[in-house]
Chain A
Amino acid sequence: MTRTREIKVSVNGKTYERVVEPRLLLADFLRQSLGLTGTHVGCEHGVCGACTVLVDGDSVRSCLMFAVQAEGCRVETVESLGRIGKLSPLQESFHAHHALQCGFCTPGMLMTATDLLKKYPLTTDNEIRAGLSGNLCRCTGYEHIVKAIRAVKVGDAR
């Protein structure tokens, strides 16, 4: 039996204190301990990108990090972007460009795109495609996702 630990984590601007087992993945902490099920869990070994969230502003795989490691950190999930009736510009653009079908990959796509838009010039579609290469989508063929991100980059979400 391993010792549990008490952690304090800021998630989407709200501070949570919970007692967790060290082996609890950040993805499972968000979904099961906090009930924030917007973050999706696909492969659980860092390949599919569905569980991507921001930790202290950087995109990370929440299946490749333990909740205990997020102690004192600022975590942002897809729930931080917008809400029903008031989507963020990036979400609005995904909607306008049909950048999702089943929606499973979408939370990871949105959080990845948030970090890509912040860190890279994304001057070409190839750059956007390379940036999305760590996020698997089996519905869209990526074309509309690239268009949605391009539109946000040039400041035209429509």
Chain B
Amino acid sequence: MKPAAFEYVVVDSVTRALAALSEADGEAKILAGGQSLVPMLNFRLVKPAILVDINRILDLAFIEETDDEIRVGALTRHHQLEMSPVIARHLPVLGAAMTHVAHLAIRNRGTIGGSLSHADPAAELPMIALLLGAKLHIVSSRGKRMVAASDFFRDALTVDLAEDEMVIEIHFPKLPPKTGWGFEEVARRAGDFALAAVAATMTVSGERITEARITLTGVDRTPVRAKKAEALLLGEKVEARLIGPVIEAVRDAIAPETDLHASSGYRRHLAGVLTGRAVNTALKRVA
């Protein structure tokens, strides 16, 4: 339960981090919060030759508001997102989801860039990035690019990120006016990985739903956006009887795995129940 030996490179700027990654030629891993990576190192599931520690890049931890976006630095910790008044005002579903992530000691260290890049199939941040239509700002010594969350998650623990690239910022569009949100998760104990979790935003104009977004985690190899379920809500009046078909559409859209913690069937059942609750809460919260 001790890591294999590695070279340790600590950097204080993105430029230096990228140079170290490029020089390592695929042999390096970025050490951000370390709350997923260090257990894997301790178990020797991964044995990188070099660790590039980015925790000293102080200007990579921020939460910033522009006219139409909230921009979050990749090194921003879960606990900062949980407590941020800017997040609470503009992206309350993100703040609420953070209270479900592990425990305070983990949230004090874990980072948004790390969680998105690691892409655990039961993690909360990937589903929230997908829900909110986030864009990831990715850089390498070769250049920079923006990737939509909907294109970023490829498979379990697999994302669109080359070995010499790193995520430096995440841009979240602000929610439109008259938008309510819901977040529902079931885990065996507080702080455990979700058996299933659902996040929803509902935008209403007059009495009709003009935008519906539903994403799930813990129920497939990547976070899932339930587009067919969303389409059933679009243009409809806000009425509780809508919810039955929406729940069925969500259950059809996912392929949960059976593991020690829950069967595929149970997870599918749970995903439907939580969708009903999240959508109803979102509709009730519409200002």
Q: Which chain A residues have a beta carbon within 8 Å of chain B's beta carbons?
A: 1-3, 5, 21-23, 25, 28, 44-46, 49, 52, 58-61, 63-66, 68-69, 71, 112, 115-116, 119, 129-131, 133-135
Contacts of A133 in B (CB 8 A): 103, 189-191
In whole angstroms, what is the CA distance A64 to B32 when docked? 11
- Are B2 and A64 in contact (CB-based, < 8 A)? no
- Given A1-B5, A130-B190, does the pair A22, B51 have CB atoms closer than 8 Å? yes
- Residue numbers in A under 8 Å from B108 (CB-CB): 58-60, 115
Query: How many residues of chain B have a CB within 8 Å of chain A?
Result: 32
Evaluate contact between B8 and A60: CB separation under 8 angstroms.
no
A78 to B1, CA, bound (A): 23
B189 touching A64, Cβ below 8 Å: no
Cross-interface CB contact of B5 among A21, A64, A129, cutoff 8 Å: A21
B4 partner residues in chain A, CB cutoff 8 A: 23
> Residue on A with the closest CB to B39?
A45
Chain A residues closer than 8 Å to B104, beta-carbon distance: 59, 112, 115-116, 119, 131, 134
Q: List 21 A-B contacts (CB under 8 A).
A: A2-B6, A22-B6, A22-B7, A25-B2, A45-B43, A46-B35, A58-B108, A60-B109, A64-B38, A64-B39, A64-B109, A65-B109, A66-B8, A66-B38, A69-B34, A69-B55, A119-B83, A131-B103, A133-B191, A134-B105, A134-B191
Report the bound CA distance from A66 to B274 in whole Å.
39
| Residue of B5, B38, B41 with most partner-chain A CB within 10 A | B38
Q: Cα distance A2–B6 when bound, in Å?
A: 6
B47-59 vs A, Cβ < 8 Å mask (1 yes, 0 no):
0000101010000
CB of B1, distance to nearest CB on chain A (Å): 4
**Chain B contacts to A: CB under 8 angstroms:** 1-8, 10, 31, 34-35, 38-39, 41-43, 51, 53, 55, 79, 83, 102-106, 108-109, 189-191
Contact residue among B2, B53, B190 (Cβ-Cβ distance under 8 Å from A69): B53
Q: Which residues of B contact A131 (CB under 8 A)?
A: 103-104
Taking CB atoms, residues of chain B closer than 8 Å to A21 are 5
On whether the beta carbons of A2 and B7 are closer than 8 Å, the reply is yes
Q: Kindly list chain B residues whose C-beta atoms are within 8 Å of the C-beta of A68.
A: 8, 10, 53
**Bound complex: CA A49 to CA B55 (Å):** 22
Q: Assess whether B103 is in contact with A23, with CB atoms less than 8 Å apart.
A: no
- Does the CB pair A60–B43 fall under 8 Å? no
Known contacts A22-B51, A64-B34, A49 near B7 by CB under 8 Å: no
**Shortest Cβ-Cβ A-B pairs, 4 listed:** A134-B103, A22-B8, A133-B190, A45-B39
Q: Please give me the residue from chain A that is nearest to B103 by CB atom.
A: A134
Closest Cβ–Cβ distance, residue A56 to chain B (whole Å): 10
Give Cα A154 to B107, complex, Å.
26
Report A-chain residues with C-beta under 8 Å of the C-beta of B10.
68-69, 71
A43: nearest chain-B partner, CB-CB: B1
Which residue of chain B lies nearest to A52 when distances are taken between CB atoms in the complex?
Answer: B105
**Alpha-carbon gap, A24 to B179, bound state (A):** 48
Cα A29 to Cα B6 with chains together (Å): 17
Complex Cα gap A46–B192 (Å): 12
Max chain B CB contacts within 10 Å: which of A5, A23, A49?
A23
A52 CA to B83 CA, complexed, in Å: 21
| Given known A60-B109, A61-B106, A64-B38, contact A129–B190 (CB-CB < 8 A) | yes
Let me know if B34 and A65 touch, CB within 8 A. Answer: yes
Complex alpha-carbon distance, A2 and B34, angstroms: 20
User: Which of chain B's residues have a CB closer than 8 A to the CB of A63?
Assistant: 38, 42
With both beta carbons as reference points, the residue of chain A lying nearest to B99 in the complex is identified as A130
> Of A44, A61, A66, which contacts B105 at CB under 8 A?
A61
Closest chain A residue, CB of each to CB of B187? A133
Residues of the B chain whose Cβ atoms lie less than 8 Å from the Cβ of A23:
2-6, 41
Residues of B within 8 A of A5 (CB): 8
**Bound-complex Cα distance A63 to B2 (A):** 9
The CA of A105 and the CA of B108, in the complex, are separated in Å by: 20
